[in-house]
Amino acid sequence: MALRIVFAGTPEFAVPSLRACAERGEVVAVYTQPDRPSGRGRQLQASPVKQAALELGLPVQQPLNFKSDEAVAVLRSHQADLMVVVAYGLILPQAVLDTPRLGCWNVHASLLPRWRGAAPIQRAIEAGDARTGVCLMQMEKGLDTGPVLLRLATDIRPHDNAGSLHDRLSLLGAEVLGDGLKLARAGFSLHAEPQPEDGVTYARKIEKAEAVLDLAQDAAVLADKVRAFNPWPVAELSLLGERVRIHKAQALPGGSGQAPGSLLAAGKDGIDIACGQGTLRLLSLQRDGGRPLSAADYLNARPLPV
């Protein structure tokens, strides 16, 4: 059974899911955020989903929201069996959720009910979680509260940062969506498992101010923040009066007895900074206006007194 699918998404994370929906020519419309100014020239930039949709020859809709009767009427005109939503960036009113015959499915980058909300990938790494994954969820009006149809899990690897985990979960999201579509095409009703009340956490939006590391915290906590905030907003600290961005770091066990922020060592293996507990070894740094450098290359340009 063929499905008439409306797809709604905006960032790069959603592109593999769009391609999964479009494999059989079932996508009748693609909804994405309006073009936004971007870059130094502030020229209007199409979203990654819009760019992919145009490459695939799919019609694109870019309403500001669904508050008007006209916007909802246009959506209804597509006579969709299913609406698939992946990081769209708009809250959908009940009138939209009720429009497709099978309702709206959402691909969410966490193992719900943990990390509902805007930044589940970063918050999972920041919290030191060992595992995460993706859920295919039947949408309802609450924020990521709907019942889960399917899920796939993956380990968070020691060297994962938000960028590498984003890319892996993006592909897993397309995979779990593809599994759901196969079942729906075959006429099966997916079992909707309500989310438990126990274990609910919220992944609030990342703020740039969070990138400033507090060296009074444990080194292990700071190392997780460095991974969570790469590639954006990128962790930063003051290194002997110079603001540097930290792209890669590791926590070393054992205390130094020195005050947090003290420079302990600087060599080809890294730059060691005392923390509230343990030592943070800086492995990749970026000076203002520069590019990311290994600790050894940074020290070649700016030797540090130890």
DSSP 106-155: EEESSSTTTTEES-HHHHHHHTT-SEEEEEEEE--SSTT-SPEEEEEEEE
Give, rounded to a whole angstrom, the gap between the first and last alpha carbons of the chain.
70
Distance CA(11)–CA(271), nearest Å, equals: 35
The answer to whether 126 and 228 have CB atoms below 8 angstroms apart is yes
Question: 257 and 242 in contact (C-beta within 8 Å)?
Answer: no
Report DSSP state, residue 184.
H
Q: Which residues of 279-306 are buried (b: 16+ CB within 10 A; e: fewer)?
A: bbbbbbbbbeeeebbbbeebbeeeeeee
What does each C-alpha distance from 1 to 85, 110, 188, 210 come to in angstroms?
21, 30, 11, 48
240 is in an annotated binding site: no
The dihedrals phi and psi of 16, each to the nearest 5 degrees, come to -60, -35
77 is in an annotated binding site: no
> Which residues are CB-neighbours of 272 under 8 A, at least 6 positions away?
252, 263, 264, 265, 266, 279, 280, 281, 282
> Is 113 marked within a binding site?
yes
Residue 136 labeled ligand binder: no
The closest of 114, 123, 92 to 205, measured between CA atoms, is 123
Q: How far apart are CA 67 and CA 96, in angstroms?
A: 10
Structure token pair of residue 52 = 């992919």
Binding residues for (6S)-5,6,7,8-tetrahydrofolate: 110-113
Binding site members = 110-113
